[in-house]
Structure 1
Amino acid sequence: MYSTGMAGPVNRSAPSASASAWFAALGFLAIVGFLLLPYVGLGGDGQNFYYMGISAATTWAVIAGAQRVRRSRRLSWLLLAAGQFSYTVGDIAYYIAHAFFDSDAFPSVADLFYLLQYPLVGAALVLLVRRRTPAWDMATLLDAVILALGLGMLWWVYLIGPLVTGFDASESMASVLVSIAYPVMDLIVLATAIRLAVGAGSRSTAFRLLMASLLAMLAADMLYGLQTANDTYQDGGAPDVLWLCEYVLLGAAALHPSMRTLDRRAKVALPSVTAGRVLLLSLAALLPMVVLYARYVTEQHAGAPIVLLCGVSLFALVITRMWMVLGIQQRLAIVDDLTGLNARGVLLSHLDLEVERGQQHRHEVGIILLDVDQFKLIEQIHGQPGGHEVLADLAHRLVRLCGNAAILGRMGDNMFAAVLPGYGGADLNGAAVRIREVVEREKFAVGDQEDVRVTVSIGLASLHDDGAGSSELIEHAELALRQAKSAGRNRVFGTAGPVERRW
């Protein structure tokens, strides 16, 4: 049975979903008010105060969320709060310079605080990536490089390149450097955000809100850069609305309860080779050709060498990634990447071999199938990383219990198998009962909780009692496993019925 008390004591200080929802609702209402102020004669200063108020409220929300997680795991959220605070100070400095000193100087003190936000946010994202990634993950790193290189090329061609070539001699070196620093910093944050997005770890609500916040920030910065280059930017326009959306989404992410697991380390960097990811990588690889054609049609050849270099690099990276996918698939056909046990095909091959030996030499071969009870509920409560922790820990316990006596493998999402040459009858029953008892008795550590109770249901079959071949053994063991589940879970069944009486 999966205990309803498995979650342990409730953390009263944990952020609640209602706090996140209220902050998001009030924040977006404030954005609507920001847009309506000019129509009631309160534009200008009214919008500025609204803007700075939302920014300051976001800083408070992120700090409040950070205080509700373990001190050792606060740094990434505190860095995000520091970045938001830096931007708030920049807004205040910008307002003071214009309202009290009528100064349009560029660069100014405000730019110092605006630019400081980017390394703080970038450092927070790097820290999240390091904590979520279980090991050196070249596959997702390549994915991130491919996507970042494709989008970075667009950044260079349409933002950084025109800035580099568009300055005249009358502008100071400081204004040139600061103007270029904004899109360059954006590009660094973009690359780090992509690495976080494609890497391992749970896709919780807080994760999605954080990624949406970063997307809004980058979209606002890009739109601001384009409007500034064309002298069409106005206060209170689309970039300001997008920046306000960034603030509200960041605050909602910090106040959502799932933020406590956002930096939880995944048990394995599962290779995501879904159709969506392949499509994204393909589109990124095609971008240089699209941009080259667009520049050719408009007779704008500036930046063509950069675009060509990006195209060649992307082609080489995509080919490398496809070779890696092939290698990963070949490895997964032998070893399960999460548990380190034999993959299903390898285990069945071992079973065929042991059954053949058993038939020739007239010795027993037993098989144990065990399934984690209510595994979907475990994932609902603790997320996919929590489910991975349970499966990996269970695999380690099976190795410890069975030693060299069994050939272990993973048969499905939460199903394991043990082939035991020489085991049958009472020996097989005793081994299965011991596994069930140890799993039930020794609590599992999942995330922040050390006392999660997990149980397994077990089905047994032996060669000379239940079949003449490996396929028949598997069928009988699966039937016994279904009977154990139907009887109430946390039980051991053979084809003849329950192995141990439980009330």
Structure 2
Amino acid sequence: MRSEQPSGSDTPDHGPWRLWLGLVLVCVVLRVGMSAVHLPYLVTTVPYLVVTVGTPVAVLVGTLRHRPPHRAGWLTLAVGQLLYAVGDVLSIVDEWLSGDFLEPTPADLMYLASYVLVAAAVLIFIRRRAPGWDVPSAVDALIVAISAGLLTWVYLIQPLTADSELPMAAKLTESAYPVLDLMLLILTVRLVMGHGTRGAVLYFLLAGLTTMFTADTLYAVVGVVTGQTTFESWLDGLWMIALGLLGAAALHPGIRHFDRRTDTAIPDASPGRLGVLAVAVLMAPGLQLIQHLRHQDLSVPLATAACAVMFLLVLARMAGLVATQRRAAVTDGLTGVRNRRHFEDALTAECRRAARAGYGLGLLMIDVDHFKKINDTYGHPAGDRVLRELARRLTAGRRAGTMLARYGGEEFVALVPHLDAAELPLVAERVRQSIAELPIEVSDRALITVTASIGAAWSRGPRTEPAGLLRAADEALYAAKAAGRNRTVVAPAAHAPASAHG
């Protein structure tokens, strides 16, 4: 084994994000406090401008300072926040000069573009953290989205579009905000419910985006209720907090590992997640009851469609949960390959088929060399990394039809049906080489070369029976270890003479 120490230091740097949040807090207090002393308009906007202009700078500085492995999402977020700051400046200038908003204003165009870019950044984070299709999280996010969309339509979009005094351009502009807010909420829910490392960065993003959605919603609700634009200082405070949290996420050193997929499976049906889904599913009938009590009945087609879609989605989630439980029963939790119980059942069934059909059946027992030394030297998390990487390599290089399983500890087994005796040594040797050819990263500072000893056994026809095949492969594995490890040994059989390869 060999280890390599990369240059540089990974000492956590918590100062910048704390200083930034302290600055944001001071600015929020100043902004809210200034509203009570009737200072000139431009003076009261200074604390707000410090935060809104400082946020894209904070995101950019954090990205360049901590150098996350994938920067596209953070740079997209920085550009989105820059456009948001430009929109704020244009809005303040417009209000200071005239106060006569003709929608869509240049500020509106900046704001709407900003929302699109922030949503794109969150989508990039999702795809980096979970490269595959995380269907359960997507279904959960869609259930929440339908519920939130129903509320948005009833209390925001419909009142805005029903106002006959507004020109069409203004209606479309004001309706675009809740739609984009809803899109961002869907992606935020999807980000939180999906796979990926937990930590301060995720929670800062969640808190920032949620606070932004809350502030936008309150702004729209106040506008609908009062019939005019509102400039309450407490709303500015909420927006400042939201922006500050987004900046803190980028300044936190955790962004170096934010894209890393977690090694711990997120519970697919945790109490918190089920609680969120229960509230979302009950929203449609609850909303219908509220509107009925207010003598403003909800549109029957709209409520029916929402309930029907969410009902079907819940059925899909139930089917997914059942499938997940079935997979968990036959899968090793650490490596993702089949577990020993499933392998033994499959071996029995495959031996019966091979005995009836007369085809050859090969079995490889693969044991990691000096695995205890890896654990003792680098720790058990490093050993877990080795096992996961070996499982990945074995899965990627396996012959079609091969079933791979973790048999116990550091030992894997591979069952290879329809195999000729002459092919068995070649298959076993390819497996050994695939393990040893590239080093494995066991920590952020160390790469080690890992080898394995392999015992192989083969049988065909009536002689194929599980216990004999397992015993022969185990004896061959013992011989490989005794001969010096990092080699393959093929057990003697009627159709496969003994041989050794090192």
Whether TM-score is above 0.5 comes out as yes
1:10 Cα deviation from its structure 2 partner: 2.2
- Is residue 291 from structure 1 mapped to residue 291 from structure 2 by the alignment? no
Partner of residue 99, structure 1: 96
> What SS is found at the alignment partner of 2:295?
coil
- Is residue 275 from structure 1 mapped to residue 271 from structure 2 by the alignment? yes
- Is residue 409 from structure 1 mapped to residue 405 from structure 2 by the alignment? yes
Q: Distance in 2 between matches of 1:17 and 1:387?
A: 29
Q: Distance in 2 between matches of 1:395 and 1:120?
A: 38
Superimposed CA distance per residue, residues 48-74 of structure 1 (whole angstroms, 9 cap, x where no aligned partner): 111011111111011112224669832
The within-5 A match list for 1:14-53 is 16-39=13-36, 42=39, 44-53=41-50
C-alpha contact (below 8 Å) 1:69/1:260 kept by paired residues: yes
One of 254, 261, 264 as aligned partner of 1:258: 254
> What SS is found at the alignment partner of 1:235?
coil
Q: Distance in 2 between matches of 1:265 and 1:205?
A: 15
Identity of aligned residues (%): 31
1:184 Cα deviation from its structure 2 partner: 1.1
C-alpha contact (below 8 Å) 2:68/2:256 kept by paired residues: no
How many residue pairs match? The answer is 446
> What SS is found at the alignment partner of 1:67?
helix
Q: Distance in 2 between matches of 1:71 and 1:46?
A: 38
1:76 Cα deviation from its structure 2 partner: 1.3
Partner of residue 313, structure 2: 317
1:291 Cα deviation from its structure 2 partner: 0.9
Q: Distance in 2 between matches of 1:336 and 1:234?
A: 57
Aligned AA for 2:196?
G
Q: Distance in 1 between matches of 2:98 and 2:55?
A: 28
The within-5 A match list for 1:81-230 is 81-165=78-162, 167-169=163-165, 171-230=166-225
One of 5, 9, 20 as aligned partner of 2:7: 9
Aligned AA for 2:169?
A
Q: Distance in 1 between matches of 2:204 and 2:279?
A: 25
Q: Distance in 2 between matches of 1:300 and 1:273?
A: 36
Structure 1 segments unaligned to the other structure (5+ residues): 355-364, 422-434, 459-469, 478-493
Q: Distance in 2 between matches of 1:339 and 1:440?
A: 18
- Is residue 308 from structure 1 mapped to residue 298 from structure 2 by the alignment? no
Structure 1 residues 57, 149: CA separation in 2 closer, same or farther (over 3 Å shift)?
A: same
Partner of residue 341, structure 1: 337
Structure 1 residues 83, 36: CA separation in 2 closer, same or farther (over 3 Å shift)?
A: same
> What SS is found at the alignment partner of 2:198?
coil
Bigger mean CA offset, 181-190 vs 60-69: 60-69
Structure 1 residues 411, 203: CA separation in 2 closer, same or farther (over 3 Å shift)?
A: farther
1:392 Cα deviation from its structure 2 partner: 2.9
- Is residue 243 from structure 1 mapped to residue 235 from structure 2 by the alignment? no
Structure 1 residues 353, 87: CA separation in 2 closer, same or farther (over 3 Å shift)?
A: closer
Partner of residue 484, structure 1: none
> What SS is found at the alignment partner of 1:149?
helix
C-alpha contact (below 8 Å) 2:268/2:321 kept by paired residues: no
Structure 2 segments unaligned to the other structure (5+ residues): 351-362, 417-430, 454-466, 485-502
CA RMSD of aligned residues (A): 4.8
> What SS is found at the alignment partner of 1:45?
helix
1:338 Cα deviation from its structure 2 partner: 6.9
Structure 1 residues 402, 122: CA separation in 2 closer, same or farther (over 3 Å shift)?
A: closer
C-alpha contact (below 8 Å) 2:5/2:445 kept by paired residues: no
Q: Distance in 2 between matches of 1:294 and 1:132?
A: 40
Aligned AA for 1:318?
V
1:316 Cα deviation from its structure 2 partner: 0.7
State TM-score, norm by structure 1.
Answer: 0.73
Q: Distance in 2 between matches of 1:400 and 1:174?
A: 55
Q: Distance in 2 between matches of 1:208 and 1:380?
A: 25
1:220 Cα deviation from its structure 2 partner: 0.6
1:80 Cα deviation from its structure 2 partner: 1.0
Aligned AA for 1:8?
P
C-alpha contact (below 8 Å) 1:140/1:271 kept by paired residues: no
Partner of residue 486, structure 1: none
1:336 Cα deviation from its structure 2 partner: 4.3
1:38 Cα deviation from its structure 2 partner: 3.2
Aligned AA for 1:253?
A
Q: Distance in 2 between matches of 1:420 and 1:115?
A: 56
Q: Distance in 1 between matches of 2:289 and 2:435?
A: 62
Aligned AA for 1:211?
L
> What SS is found at the alignment partner of 1:202?
coil
